[in-house]
Every structure is written in structure tokens, then in C-alpha cells.
Amino acid sequence: MEPGNETQILEFHLLGFSEETELQPFLFGLFLSMYLVTIIGNLLIILATISDSHLHTPMYFFLSNLSFADTCLSSITVPKILVNIQTQRKVISYAGCLTQMFFFLLFAALEDFLLTVMAYDRYMAICHPLHYTVTMNPRLCVLLVLGSWIISVLYALLQNLLVFQLSFCAPFEIPHFFCELNQMVQLACSDTFLDDMVMYIVAGLLGGGPFIGIIFSYSKIVSSIHVISSALGKYKAFSTCASHLTVVSLFYCTSVGVYTSSFAMHSAHASAPASVMYSVLIPMFNPFIYSLRNKDIKRALKKFLTVKP
């Protein structure tokens, strides 16, 4: 709502999950468990990559940044869910809603760009191994991460400014568990043509662009692996990409599934459970995906967690 309007929005009501009283303790325990696993898992990845000098490489530098983005992405929504369940007062202030939406868009976009940067890193490592060390130097790695941050901040800021111009009519109820951009635009009672156009165009550019980059990188990687003569060589080359490819598949499949399900079922509530996948479960799964089959991460974690006498 614009500041000059007489009826000012004080808070929104979040209606994302079941109102049944008997389910609230289960939901609280479930989200608290997932959040703790997410925080501990991603922090261990970050600390392991920092403490072990063998992991001071571009691949693990990007991985630690991805873990940081996962931690922040989960922290934006889950603590608020826990507070709302515990207090039985599922509300969020107007300023809090815009702040939550800004940081969610920021870290969701940042994760998308980091996955693309990681795909480029794997492309250079497999397709141009002789030039890898020179090309993927510390300066370029920092610039790639910094560029991802800048674009993500500008994207989130643009969307927030457009939503800030909208007017909302009572009841101020969001059929979601957090202030999701699409739900906020649908809730507005003023003209949303500009918001819709910008939302879909920018989402297409920032979502489609990185996705095309990832597909291009992996098409080149597959071609390079195909010409390797030995089966062991092919396995080693593919194994360096398997974790990243799994995370990319989960991220894009769940993100697309959220919007597909909401449009197909013609229900705003349909996207709430699906959103749990990419906003809560994926940040929790990523540390396991990257550590279970990665001997370097396992060794670094074991070294970090070993208590020296």
C-alpha cells in the first residue's frame, strides 16, 4: 500500500499450512528438525572447505558459497514458520513481508547463478584441463561470485520496488507460508500488468539464461567424456560432475514444479507444499549430496571433527 493512502497495511496473514490444531506440534517438530539439519550440514561444509588447505580450489570455493546461500535461503522462511506455529498467530508485518521477499529472491537467484558458475568450473576442468589452473584463477573466481551477488541484489531490489507500488485490499491473506512474489502480485487490487510483465521477463532471462549455460556446459562435458578411451577415465570424469548435476536437477525440477502445480490446479494453496521442496528440502539435501560421494569432503570433515588430545 502506498504511504499516502488512508488505509495502511499493518500485517499480512500467512495461510500456507493446515489449521488443524493436532498437526501443529508435528509441523513444528518437522520444520525444526529440517532447519537444524540444514544449518549444521551447510556450516560443516563451509568450515571444512575453509579449514582444509586441500580444498582451497575453485570447485570448493563455489561450493562453500552455495552452502552459505542455502543456509540463508532456509533461514529466511523456516524461523518465521516456527514462530507462527508456536504462537498460533500466522502474521507478518508489511515491512517484514517485503524484507522477507527481498532476501528470498536474492538468495534464490544467487543459488541459481552459483550453480551456473559451478557448471562452468566443471566444463573448464574436464574440457580444458591444461588451461584450468590459469583460467580459473582466484581473481576470476571472486569476480564470478561477486557478479552473481550484484545481479541477484539488483533483481530482488527491482521486484521489491514494483511490489511496493501496488495497493492491497482486505483481507490481507497470503495462501502461502512466506511472502512469495507471485502470491503478493496476485493479492494486489491495483493494476499489476507491469509487475506481471517484469516478473515473467526477468524470471525468463535470469532463469532461462543460467539454465541454457548449464545445458551448454554439460553438452560439452558429455562430448569430452565420450572421447575418453578408458572406462575408468570416463567414470572419474563423470563422478566430478555427478553431485552438481543432481543438485541442478533438483533445483530446476522443483522450481518449475511449484509454478506448474499452482497453474494446473488453479489453486494458490497448491504451490505452498511444493515450495517446501526448493526453499527448505533442497538446502537440507545439498550438503549430503556433495559429501556422501566426495572423498575430499569426507576427509576434511573427519579431520575437522576429530578432537585432538
Cα distances (Å, whole numbers) of residue 108 to 8, 101, 205, 244: 29, 10, 14, 16
Contact criterion met (CB below 8 Å) for 224 and 240:
no
Residues 6+ apart with CB under 8 A from 291: 41, 45, 297, 298, 301
Residue with more model confidence, 29 or 302: 29
Q: Is the pLDDT of residue 211 over 50?
A: yes
- Indicate the pLDDT class of residue 53, thresholds 50, 70 and 90: confident
For residue 93, give the H/E element and its range.
strand 91-93
Contact criterion met (CB below 8 Å) for 217 and 119:
yes
For residue 272, give the H/E element and its range.
helix 271-276
Q: Is residue 13 classed as helix, strand or coil in its secondary structure?
A: strand
Q: Which amino acid is located at 296 in the chain?
A: D
Report pLDDT digits (tens) over 216-237: 999 999 888 888 777 777 777 7
Q: Is the peptide bond before 171 cis (omega within 30 degrees of 0)?
A: yes
Is the pTM of the predicted complex or chain greater than 0.85? yes
- Helix 94-127 to helix 231-264 angle, to the nearest 10 degrees? 150
Homologous superfamily assigned to 11-305: Rhodopsin 7-helix transmembrane proteins (1.20.1070.10)
Cα distances (Å, whole numbers) of residue 196 to 167, 185, 240: 15, 8, 40
Cα distances (Å, whole numbers) of residue 177 to 18, 101, 276: 10, 12, 9
Report pLDDT digits (tens) over 233-265: 777 777 778 888 888 888 888 777 666 655 554
Reading across the β-sheet that carries 91-93, which strands appear in turn?
91-93, 11-14, 173-174
Q: Is the pLDDT of residue 143 over 90?
A: yes
Which region among 70-84, 113-127, 278-292 has the lowest average model confidence (pLDDT)?
278-292
Residue with more model confidence, 267 or 110: 110
pLDDT above 90 as % of the chain = 38
Residue with more model confidence, 99 or 54: 99
For residue 91, give the H/E element and its range.
strand 91-93
